[in-house]
């Protein structure tokens, strides 16, 4: 496919690897933010092809992984009511809540449905006027415009039986939180290409300046990621710390203004809890007062549900790039994608699942 195949060209990837090896003279720790990028790195083994001096650590950019336990518990509570149809993106179904997951609730008779696009939820609502349809609206800035548009459209078309249980997170405040942590080892960031497609990269300039850290907006194919690594290595070796855009075929400085407008119309910035990390100030989106009739958490009075995270799972450290999934004693033993202890083992973009899918044999040989 055009705009995909050429960025999987092994010859170009080898040339980039050689160029990186020539340019890097001191150790560096680079973090890719987005789970999609983590998945590509593991799938193509990029971390193992890079010189030993370049260490890749994986960031908190898997929305399924950072959706707080409370939100899952709220969804479970809703899904067990016979008058409610709970609609979700597929990855959310196996995410463990405090006591169960959506798959199990579905197996016990809960009406849980999977959609590819939020607009399909509106169709379900139109077809079931006697039921209440709740959409589990999660995601980063990439997904927020589509979710906002579904809520806007529900109001426009007066679909009264539709609401959204929202858990939206924002990348720049998370980078700020990571950088201010005393344990932080990150010397450069690969910023998430599709988040920046929507938001642009103006906000990242302040981060690069405040923390003297180079940031390269990167794509999702192996050649994209290697080029982003090369750009970061060149900046680090020359002592610069600015924002560069490797993914210019999709990202421009201002981002997608029409998409941003849809988000601003429906959502406002709020403090947000991240699973495994805790509350990060001003790092999420909630539904504005004007759209309160579509706010599932408000309609169903779910605000009081809280939850404690299990102690055995080390996903908090994995999501901050402090430890690798293979450091966890439960990895590939008590915790697998079929029976996950923590969310990063659920989504194919979660760091633990990516290691499980592409690296577990290595662990077994070593172990």
Partner 1 sequence: MCLAIPGKILSCDELGFARAGRVQFGGIVREVRLDFVPEANTGDYVMVHVGFAISKVDESEAKRTYELLAQMGALEGELPANDPETSS
Evaluate whether 301 touches 334 at the Cβ level (below 8 Å): no
Using the minimum distance from each CB to partner 1, give the nearer residue, 133 or 262. Answer: 262
Element (H, E) at 85: strand 84-89
Residue 366: count other Cβ atoms within 10 Å of its Cβ.
7
* Tally of residues, the chain: 367
Burial label, 26 (beta-carbon count in 10 A; 0-12, 13-18, 19+):
exposed
Number of H helices, E strands in the chain: 16, 11
- What 3-state DSSP class applies to 168? strand
Binds partner 1 (CB under 8 A): choice among 28, 56, 62, 316: 62
- List of E strands, 28-78: 28-34, 54-61
11 belongs to the binding site for partner 1 (CB under 8 A): yes
Site string for partner 1, 180-209 (x = CB under 8 A): ------------x-xx-xx-----------
Q: Is 140 in the site for partner 1 (CB under 8 A)?
A: yes
Q: Minimum distance from CB of 140 to partner 1 (Å)?
A: 6
Size of the site for partner 1 (CB under 8 A): 65
The pairing of strands 243-245 and 267-274 is unpaired
Between CA 331 and CA 343 the distance in angstroms is 13
Which positions from 255 to 284 touch partner 1 by CB under 8 A, shown as an x/- string? -x-xx--x----------------------
Query: Site for partner 1 (CB under 8 A): which residue of 24, 28, 31, 34?
Result: 34
Interaction between residue 157 and partner 1 (CB under 8 A):
yes
Q: Which of 20, 44, 125, 207 binds partner 1 (CB under 8 A)?
A: 44
- For residue 347, state whether it binds partner 1 (rule: CB under 8 A): yes
Residue 264: which residues within 8 A CB-CB, separation 6 or more? Answer: none
Which C-beta is closer to partner 1: that of 11 or that of 364? 11
What tokens appear for 129 in the block? 């006027």
- The residues binding partner 1 (CB under 8 A) are 1-4, 6, 9-16, 18-19, 34-36, 44-46, 49, 61-64, 89, 91, 116-120, 138-140, 142-143, 145-146, 149, 153, 156-157, 192, 194-195, 197-198, 220, 222-223, 227, 246, 248-252, 256, 258-259, 262, 347, 349
């Amino acid at each position: 496919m055009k705009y995909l195949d050429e960025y999987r060209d092994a010859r170009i990837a080898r040339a980039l690897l050689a160029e990186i090896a020539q340019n890097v003279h001191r150790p560096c720790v680079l973090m890719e933010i987005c789970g999609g990028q983590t998945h590509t790195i593991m799938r193509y083994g990029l971390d193992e092809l890079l010189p030993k001096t370049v260490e890749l650590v994986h960031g908190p950019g898997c929305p399924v992984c950072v959706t707080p336990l409370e939100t899952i518990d709220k969804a479970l509570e809703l899904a067990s009511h016979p008058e409610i149809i709970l609609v979700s993106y597929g990855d959310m179904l196996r995410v463990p809540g405090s006591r169960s997951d959506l798959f199990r609730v579905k197996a016990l008779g809960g009406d849980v449905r999977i959609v590819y696009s939020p607009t399909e939820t509106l169709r379900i609502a139109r077809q079931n006027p006697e039921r209440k349809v709740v959409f589990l609206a999660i995601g980063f800035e990439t997904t927020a415009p589509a979710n906002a548009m579904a809520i806007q459209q529900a109001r426009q078309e007066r679909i009264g039986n539709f609401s959204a249980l929202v858990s939206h997170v924002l990348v720049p405040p998370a980078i700020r939180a990571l950088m201010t942590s005393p344990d932080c080892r990150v010397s450069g960031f690969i910023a998430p290409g599709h988040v920046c497609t929507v938001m642009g990269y103006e906000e990242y300039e302040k981060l690069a300046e405040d923390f003297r850290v180079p940031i390269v907006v990167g794509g999702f194919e192996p050649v994209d990621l290697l080029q982003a690594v090369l750009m970061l290595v060149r900046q680090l070796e020359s002592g610069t710390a600015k924002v560069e855009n490797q993914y210019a075929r999709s990202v421009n400085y201002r981002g997608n203004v029409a998409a941003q407008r849809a988000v601003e119309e429906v959502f406002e910035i709020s403090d947000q809890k991240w699973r495994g990390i805790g509350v990060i100030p001003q790092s999420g989106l909630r539904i504005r007062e004007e759209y309160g009739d579509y706010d599932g958490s408000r309609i169903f009075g779910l605000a009081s549900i809280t939850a404690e995270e299990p102690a055995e799972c080390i996903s908090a450290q994995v999501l901050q790039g402090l430890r690798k999934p293979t450091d966890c004693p439960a990895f590939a033993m008590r915790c697998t994608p079929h029976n996950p202890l923590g969310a990063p083992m659920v989504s194919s973009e979660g760091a633990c699942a990516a290691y499980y899918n592409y690296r577990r044999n290595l662990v077994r040989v070593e172990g």
